[in-house]
Amino acid sequence: MTSDPIAAPSRLNLALEGCGLFDIAGLMAAAPFLATAPRGARHPVMVLPGLGANDNSTFAIRGFLGMLGYDVRGWGRGRNIRLPQLEAPAVAQTVRDLSRNTGQRVSLIGWSLGGILAREVARRSPDHVRLVVTLGSPFAAPNANNLRTVWRLLTGQPSSTVTASRIAELSRPLPMPATAIYTRSDGIVAWQACLEQEHPTTENVEVRTTHLGLGFHAPALWVIADRLAQPEGQWKPFKPSLLVSPFFPQSRQ
């Protein structure tokens, strides 16, 4: 990753964001493909929605993981319209309670702002979180986005600039395995802002969709399934099989 400032996505990428919604229609055609996704040990999984969204927005992710046999939960807090550091204490307590009640660590899946929140929660509850998967979450450069007007409309407050010290804190590698799924066609947040730092248990996986399509994109869902299927404590980087590798761009960070 470069130390130069990261710019917000281009207007062209922003204008093309709606194309990602075709992934919703594509899920039906992808059903046979997804039915062969890896399955792992049943354990609790919490899925956190993006800015302004609620649990309805993550129905495809949760439905897919439920089909695979996981104990899937939404975040259950309505629309996600507060800063992650304000939501994190309550969500972390929910995760700790879920972990204690089930006797298992919880995997966290976060889309966009939900991924930043997932990372905050994981830092607060490292003994209760198994792994974290983010989808288009700009934790490495949260200022590089096209969401300032949306934030003001949703919250009634101006969007504030995230400080360098806060960015360093957000982007620091987590104490558990973490996978960042991103797309270079993202028109909402800069794709470079969604990348994990190099670390023994971090990775970045590129897919071909838009920001709005990430939660419905069959290859992204496959990556989530593959990561959840790994035995706890035996993490290895994602390596698509010959069967699915054509659906993923070659690594070119």
Strands across the sheet containing 178-182: 71-74, 44-48, 106-111, 129-135, 178-182, 202-206
Which pLDDT tens digit goes with each residue over 191-211? 999 999 999 999 999 999 999
The tokens for 131 are: 């792994």
pLDDT of residue 251: 63
The token pair that represents 10 in the structure block: 């281009």
The whole-angstrom separation of Cα 141 and Cα 239 is 26
Question: What is the reported pLDDT for 253?
Answer: 55
The list of the chain residues with pLDDT below 50 reads 1-2
Number of other residues whose CB lies within 10 A of the CB of residue 208: 16
In sequence order, which residues have a C-beta less than 8 Å from that of residue 47 and are 6 or more positions away?
55, 58, 61, 62, 65, 72, 73, 74, 75, 109, 110, 111, 114
pLDDT for 192 equals: 97
Domains of the chain, by residue range, sit at 11-35+46-231
pLDDT for the residue numbered 124: 97
pLDDT confidence of residue 158: 75
CA distance 84 to 70: 25
Residue 2 has a pLDDT of 43
CATH topology of domain 11-35+46-231: Rossmann fold (3.40.50)
d(CA 125, CA 139): 18
Query: What is the pTM (predicted TM-score) of this model?
Result: 0.94
Pairing mode of beta strands 44-48, 106-111: parallel
pLDDT digit string (tens) for 69-104?
999 999 999 999 999 999 999 999 999 999 999 999
